[in-house]
Structure 1
Amino acid sequence: MRNVPDTLDRSVVAEIDARLERIAADERVAVPWAVESGSRAWGFPSPDSDYDCRFLYLRSANDYLGLWPRRDVIETPLDKVFDVNGWDVAKALRLLLKGNATVVEWLTSPIVYRGDVGFRDGLLDLAAEVIDPARVGRHYLHVGRNQWDLESEFVPLKKVFYALRPAAALRWLRTHPGSAVAPMDLATLLREGDVPNAVMREADELMAVKAVTRELGEGRFPDPLASFVLSEFEAAHEAYENADATIEAWKMARADEFFRTLVR
């Protein structure tokens, strides 16, 4: 599977493809899934946004059985254009059970550099079975809080998006009880979360500006967005902050079974 829009720089995409090939050969791993993450996949890129390629990989059974565990991340040199790194599927599965939504986001990215559909569907099915919506909610709450800062009158407008998207994900979870696999892009989160018209209007306007502006600079956090973010964080704190962190044994067993099947 491959889904790379024409809006992406062809030379950059070619280099990402080459890096993925080198990683597979040099590290002796399989790369069943590689996507774009970050602002391009979230739906609010700037003209100078870098490329955030994220991938999942598998090692051989012999590597997993060795006495000296390999690192569970693979990273390539970071620069102004390229940010390419990935996680071992074993790491991804452990984080998934803890409620880390990053894994699910990668699986639902609209920009796919290379992908095994069976791998993606199997992992998404597992996520729907074992992931706890409350833990996902707590994940988004903590991510959003790290970007939330109204102590100053003016804030970097880029950070508005990094607080707004987790808030929109929290709203989506609240309006889709029992579901834990939220959409990745901001526009879909807002639309399916049935947010107030003022929030949608302000978000659309800010995304349109960001799409044609290399540097947004600083400004006041738009009042409708600030009120929306704060209210969703408060609701999520009540609902998710004290969620049980215990991972049930049957979920661990299902993840083990899935992982062993992939390796075999």
Structure 2
Amino acid sequence: MTQADKTIPPTVRREIETRLDRIEADNGVRLLLAIESGSRAWGFPSPDSDYDVRFLYVRPRDWYLSLAPGRDVIETPIEDEIDLNGWDVRKALTLLLKSNAVVSEWIESPIRYRPGDPFVDRLRSLADDLLNPRAIAYHYARSGKLAADRWLDDGDAVPVKKYFYALRPALAIRAIRLNPASRLPMNLQALVAASDLSSALVEQINALVEAKARTNERANGARLPEIDALIRGELDLASELPARKLRDRFVDRADQLFLELTNT
């Protein structure tokens, strides 16, 4: 168990593991990956943050042969602050071929609720080879601009949560600009380390993390001009990243991986 794993209270972890077992039994699926996403895995939780559990699963082979395809997601209601949802592996592979950043993030989550299936290492290798820096940067630019909509340029107080939902995408763009050959970490602190920031900016970000750890999700925080400038600047630089047209080169490899998985 990693240090990040230990941030999940044992009673909550047991409840999450119980619910994952129930999902497998009730839906006839096998979980390949079960991780924490959201602010707890991103490195800036609040005391009242939900537990955002995400998973990948595979069904028996015959399910995929139906003329009427079934749903490719499993969703459950939020109960006791546990938000638990997952994707079918075929959906995950299809999205990965489109340079989907979410699949890549899940693979790298620092908090895991199940030991990784051997399939995950092969999925990670495919994600490495499919890395398209511009597509990844555009993903984070969209999410960052959506999070910063209406508040970034008005100077008013903003919930600390909203600050982070724009800051993390901005740091992701900066990190991949500096090293376009490597997929991004999920965790904010790892992104900071990869972003070559001034010591003053690092101190401000660390102070923001500490402030969020003491307050609820909606509490307002003071505006920080240097962080505002970082967010504003990086979110406009996605188009500077190199683009790679990779999908057609890897469809056969993804197909083979899917067929092997569903034949086991």
State TM-score, norm by structure 1. 0.92
Match of 2:169 in 1: 166
Match of 1:157 in 2: 160
What are the Cα deviations for residues 156-194 of structure 1, in whole angstroms up to 9, with x where unaligned?
221000000011111110110222x10110011011111
Match of 2:253 in 1: 254
When residues 248 and 37 of structure 1 are mapped into structure 2, their CA distance, relative to the original with a 3 A threshold, is closer
Q: Does 1:205 align with 2:204?
A: no
Q: Which amino acid aligns with 2:48?
A: D
Matches within 5 A, 1:3-152: 3=2, 5-79=5-79, 81-148=81-148, 149-152=151-154
Distance apart, 1:202 and its partner CA? 0.9
Check the 8 A contact 1:164/1:229 in 2, yes or no: yes
Distance apart, 1:220 and its partner CA? 4.2
Check the 8 A contact 1:47/1:211 in 2, yes or no: yes
Check the 8 A contact 1:76/1:83 in 2, yes or no: yes
Deviates more, 1:128-137 or 1:21-30: 128-137
Match of 1:194 in 2: 196
Deviates more, 1:42-51 or 1:191-200: 191-200
Distance in 1 between residues matched to 2:218 and 2:166, nearest whole Å: 16
Distance apart, 1:235 and its partner CA? 1.6
Distance in 2 between residues matched to 1:138 and 1:60, nearest whole Å: 35
Distance in 2 between residues matched to 1:159 and 1:9, nearest whole Å: 25
Distance apart, 1:213 and its partner CA? 2.0
What are the Cα deviations for residues 219-251 of structure 1, in whole angstroms up to 9, with x where unaligned?
4431111111111112224447xx57x663222
Deviates more, 1:25-34 or 1:229-238: 229-238
- The counterpart of 1:178, out of the listed 178, 181, 187, is 181
When residues 22 and 80 of structure 1 are mapped into structure 2, their CA distance, relative to the original with a 3 A threshold, is closer
Q: Which amino acid aligns with 2:146?
A: N
Q: Secondary structure at the match of 2:36?
A: strand
Aligned Cα root-mean-square deviation (Å): 1.9
Distance in 2 between residues matched to 1:51 and 1:75, nearest whole Å: 14
Q: Secondary structure at the match of 2:5?
A: coil
Check the 8 A contact 1:96/1:131 in 2, yes or no: no
Distance in 1 between residues matched to 2:261 and 2:192, nearest whole Å: 35
Distance apart, 1:86 and its partner CA? 0.3
Q: Which amino acid aligns with 1:188?
A: A
Check the 8 A contact 2:41/2:186 in 1, yes or no: yes
Q: Which amino acid aligns with 1:257?
A: Q
Distance in 2 between residues matched to 1:11 and 1:39, nearest whole Å: 19
Deviates more, 1:203-212 or 1:248-257: 248-257
Distance apart, 1:92 and its partner CA? 0.9
Distance apart, 1:154 and its partner CA? 2.1
Runs of at least 5 residues in structure 1 that lack an aligned partner in the other structure: none
Deviates more, 1:33-42 or 1:76-85: 76-85
Q: Which amino acid aligns with 1:21?
A: D
Report % sequence identity.
Answer: 44
Q: Which amino acid aligns with 1:258?
A: L
Q: Which amino acid aligns with 2:169?
A: P
Distance in 2 between residues matched to 1:184 and 1:84, nearest whole Å: 18
Q: Secondary structure at the match of 2:7?
A: coil
The alignment covers a number of residue pairs equal to 259
